[in-house]
């Protein structure tokens, strides 16, 4: 047997038919097998990632084919069915032959609740059957912005009330129209709560007269804290520190009451103010201007793509939902999936924020409104 030279240069003996590997070759083959295992592992990870990504895309594609719950035909039919009884208790409120709000039948003998600030003239009620009846104002609650009307007809179907607290956050709610269609669908987003007044932004309608003052509450009435440059108030001689005692002959005790009175006047009209200045009464006449559309960034974003209610804050208690309701559809019933009315829609307050007066609050107010609360006889 001839000696075989190793890669190290030393002679070793190898069995017949076999070749003995040197240590360097053994390391190279071992390293090759290890590298193969690493490569195979990485390929497995890449394949798994591709499968996960493909599954995610497939799910996304499937989700994109699902219609939104507000427009899906099958869901729309379900919403209409759930709210069908309440829709028969909803009416249209017309002023000068145009719909300004919806109304909710609260009594079989012609009592109807609606949103007060939207009714700026003699109201006509249009029933679901098409009849139009002149309405008489019975009562008013400015805090909740509710107006009680009565029409000369009996046998109207009143709503079936349910306590709003039965509608937990996340519960579905429906706002029906008198024709049986659905004005909006949403979910309860915030439980019953108070909504503080937001100042002049509460009345952004450009058709409402503008004085150009910033107000703060005081014991004597709303006090002027700032007068805008070039505003109607400045031209009329109002100053910082003036207390507005009355506006257009009506005593005003806080900024909200002043805004409630002011909304009845349009740009160009002249109103008489009684001011308390240095412990003396002073009279001024202000020719109202047009409200400038210079809202803050937050207000602009809140209004983006939406028409908001003229009166949308300062309510003592509201139930908040995310239904997209038009201002002219306020005053109508808000319904749960059992067909029960848990409140009356009162304001479109933001891009995804609508308010309803809870049913239990309305039920307590109704006897007072029927007795003529807030209306001079």
Res 143 pLDDT > 60: yes
- Give the model confidence (pLDDT) of 326-360 as tens digits: 999 999 999 999 999 999 999 998 877 899 999 99
Res 131 pLDDT > 80: yes
Q: Which residues of 244-281 are buried (b: 16+ CB within 10 A; e: fewer)?
A: bbbbeeeebbbbbbbbbbbbebeeeeebebbbbeeeee
Res 165 pLDDT > 80: yes
Give me the mean pLDDT over the 90-119 stretch.
96
Q: What is the pLDDT of residue 192?
A: 81
Local confidence band at 261 (pLDDT 50, 70, 90 cut-offs): confident
Q: What is the pLDDT of residue 95?
A: 96
Residues of the chain with CATH 2.30.42.10: 205-290
Q: What is the pLDDT of residue 58?
A: 40
Q: What is the pLDDT of residue 29?
A: 52
- What are the residues whose beta carbons fall under 8 Å from the beta carbon of 151, sequence distance 6 or more? 110, 112, 125, 133, 134, 135, 136
Q: What is the pLDDT of residue 17?
A: 45
Give me the mean pLDDT over the 34-45 stretch.
58
Topology given in CATH for the domain delimited by 205-290: Pdz3 Domain (2.30.42)
Radius of gyration of the chain (CA): 36
Give me the mean pLDDT over the 16-36 stretch.
52
Residues of the chain with CATH 2.40.10.120: 84-196+307-370
- In angstroms, the CA 297 to CA 241 distance is 28
Local confidence band at 117 (pLDDT 50, 70, 90 cut-offs): very high
Give me the mean pLDDT over the 174-190 stretch.
92
- How high is the mean pLDDT of the chain? 80
Give me the mean pLDDT over the 311-318 stretch.
86
Res 20 pLDDT > 60: no
Give me the mean pLDDT over the 275-304 stretch.
73
Q: What is the pLDDT of residue 303?
A: 47
Most confident of 4-8, 9-13, 82-86, 251-255: 82-86
Neighbours of 42 (CB within 10 A): 10
Q: What is the pLDDT of residue 127?
A: 96
Share of the chain above pLDDT 90, in %: 49
Top pLDDT among 23 and 9 is at 23
Topology given in CATH for the domain delimited by 84-196+307-370: Thrombin, subunit H (2.40.10)
Q: What is the pLDDT of residue 92?
A: 98
Res 221 pLDDT > 60: yes
- In angstroms, the CA 57 to CA 69 distance is 22
Element (H, E) at 94: strand 90-95
Question: CB burial class (10 A; 0-12, 13-18, 19+) of residue 300?
Answer: exposed
Neighbours of 328 (CB within 10 A): 20
3-state helix, strand, coil in the chain (%, to 5): 25, 30, 40
Lowest mean pLDDT across 31-35, 140-144, 283-287: 31-35
């Amino acid at each position: 047997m001839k000696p075989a030279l190793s890669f190290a240069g030393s002679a070793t003996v190898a069995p017949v038919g076999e070749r003995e590997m040197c240590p360097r070759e053994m390391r190279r083959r071992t390293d090759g097998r290890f590298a193969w295992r690493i490569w195979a592992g990485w390929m497995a990870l890449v394949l798994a990632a591709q499968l996960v990504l493909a599954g995610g895309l497939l799910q996304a594609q499937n989700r994109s084919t699902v219609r939104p719950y507000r427009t899906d035909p099958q869901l729309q039919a379900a919403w209409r069915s759930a709210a069908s009884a309440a829709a028969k208790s909803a009416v249209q409120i017309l002023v000068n032959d145009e719909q300004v709000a919806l109304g909710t039948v609260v009594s079989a003998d012609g009592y109807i609740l609606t949103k007060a600030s939207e009714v700026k003239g003699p109201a006509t009620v249009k029933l679901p059957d098409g009849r139009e009846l002149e309405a008489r104002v019975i009562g008013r609650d400015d805090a909740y912005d509710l107006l009680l009307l009565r029409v000369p007809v009996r046998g109207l179907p009143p709503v079936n009330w349910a306590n709003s607290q039965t509608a937990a956050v996340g519960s579905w709610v429906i706002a029906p129209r008198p024709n049986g269609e659905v004005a909006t669908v949403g979910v309860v987003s915030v439980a019953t709560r108070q909504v503080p007044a937001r100042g002049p932004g509460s009345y952004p309608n450009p058709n409402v007269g503008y004085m150009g003052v910033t107000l703060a509450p005081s014991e004597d009435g709303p006090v002027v804290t700032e007068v805008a440059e070039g505003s109607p108030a400045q031209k009329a001689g109002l100053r910082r520190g003036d207390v507005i005692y009355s506006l257009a002959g009506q005593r005003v005790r806080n900024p909200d009451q002043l805004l409630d009175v002011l909304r009845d006047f349009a740009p160009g009209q002249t109103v008489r103010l009684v001011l308390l200045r240095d412990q003396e009464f002073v009279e001024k006449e202000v020719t109202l201007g047009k409200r400038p559309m210079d809202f803050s960034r937050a207000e602009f974003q809140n209004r983006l793509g939406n028409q908001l209610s003229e009166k949308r804050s300062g309510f003592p208690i509201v139930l908040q939902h995310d239904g997209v309701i038009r201002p002219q559809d306020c005053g109508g019933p808000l319904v749960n999936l059992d067909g029960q009315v848990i409140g009356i829609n009162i304001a479109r307050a933001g891009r995804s924020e609508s308010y309803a007066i809870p049913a239990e609050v309305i039920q307590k107010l109704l006897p007072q409104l029927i007795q003529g609360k807030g209306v001079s006889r």
